[in-house]
Structure formats: C-alpha cells, structure tokens
Amino acid sequence: MDTKWLEWAIELQSLAQAGLTYGKDLYDRERYKRIREISAEIMAYKTDIPVTKIKDLFCNETGYQTPKLDTRAAIFQNGKILLVREKNGTWALPGGWVDVNVSVKENTIKEVKEEAGLDVTADKVIAIQDRSKHNLPVYAYGVCKIFVLCTMIGGAFQENIETTGFAYFSENELPELATEKNTEEQIKMCFEASRTPNWSTLFD
C-alpha cells in the first residue's frame, strides 16, 4: 500500500505544530493552524475516519511534537508467555500508553495490574521499537514501543474495562493477536529474550 500521503500529512502536522509552538507572528500562527487542519483533512479523506476524531488525535497536542510511549510487559511461566484477551477477542501483551506522571517502569507495572490483575517486577528492557517499522495500521503520530521483561510476584485476574481474561501460550501455539499492539515477530522476540541470560536491548 502506498503510504507516501501519510508521510506528507505527518510531516505537515509536525511542521505546523512546531510553528505554533515557536512562532510569534499572529498571521503566521493562523497559517500554521490552517496547515495543521489540512493535514487532518488529508488523513480523514484517505482513511474515512471523521475529521473531528482525526483532529482530536492529530491536532490536540502543544509543544514540539515527539513520539508517544507505549509499554508492553512480557511475563513468562513454565516457558509460556502471558497474553490478555481484548474486548474484540484478539490477544496482546499487557500494556498501554505511558501516563505523563509515571516512569516507563512504573507504567509497565501499572498496566499489568490493570489489565491482568497481577503484581510484577519490571526487570529488563527487551526492545525499544519505532512502531511504524513493525506494526499496522500506521498511525498518524509517532510511537515508541518499549517491551519489558517482567516477573510475576502475585495477584489474580480481575474484571476490568479493557480485557476479558488472560492465558499463557507457548511460542508455537499463539492465538489471534491484536497486531496493532504486538505481532508474532514481537512475541517471539520476547521469548528469545527470556531464554537469553545476557540479552542486549534491541532498538531501532
């Protein structure tokens, strides 16, 4: 699929946001604002997502544009990896956006508790990945995905608004994955990290 239009829209959004952050001239700021609106309209036109939703996702930030952070916890038991079941029936490593008031480590632990009900320690960073190089669909904003090797120390699954259960899976018997969050390649990377005592963090 040709995604050149997406690259252009993202670059326009980034340039416009920088202009709104650092520009002082009122007329220039109005021009930057319109450029950002155009970038959102391009996204809406090409994706059939309502322009109002695009603007919420795409034009809502202030300051210099930087990637969002997403953490994913890899928890192993008896050689199998823990995955949580999403509302749509697909499966993912527990995780989510890093909140502004917590660290990557704290967020990893928090997300496991919220989505799986488990208490864990966050022990080692497996990989830091540019989402656009690994996951589909491509998002209109940059995302750094941080995979963290964790150890379960307690807890039990509790009903919550995000997931409907969890289970452990072997490397060769993975369920249908929520590939926008984690691919088979990424899950297998976590397995490899769990087997490698002196694992070196991978990064894009």
Rounded CA-CA distance 189/170 in Å is 13
Domain boundaries, the chain: 4-58, 68-203
* Tens digit of each residue's pLDDT (9 = 90 or more) over 27-76: 999 999 999 899 888 888 887 778 887 777 667 777 777 889 999 999 99
Arithmetic mean of pLDDT, 70-89: 97
**Burial state string for 41-62 with b = 16 or more CB within 10 A and e = fewer than 16:** ebbbeeeeeebeebbeebbeee
**For residue 89, pLDDT beyond 90:** yes
Fold exhibited by the domain 68-203: Nucleoside Triphosphate Pyrophosphohydrolase (3.90.79)
Three-class secondary structure of residue 122 per DSSP: strand
DSSP code for 132: G
Neighbour-count burial of 100, counting CB atoms closer than 10 A to its CB (0-12 exposed, 13-18 middle, 19+ buried): exposed
Mean of all residue pLDDT scores within the chain: 92
**Token output for 170:** 């072997």
Round to whole Å and give the CA distance between 168 and 7: 38
Q: Are the beta carbons of 82 and 149 closer than 8 angstroms?
A: no
> What pTM value is reported for the model?
0.81
* Gyration radius from the chain CA atoms: 19
- Out of 5-9, 57-61, 121-125, give the one with best mean pLDDT: 121-125
Interval 149-179: pLDDT, tens? 999 999 999 889 999 999 999 999 999 999 9
pLDDT tens-digit series, residues 91-119: 999 999 999 899 999 999 999 999 999 99
Q: Give the number of residues written for the chain.
A: 204
* CA–CA distances in Å: residue 161 to residues 72, 87, 114, 158, 165: 18, 9, 9, 10, 11
Residue 58 pLDDT: 67
Please state, in angstroms and as integers, the Cα–Cα distance from residue 9 to each residue in 54, 65, 144, following that order.
Answer: 12, 14, 19
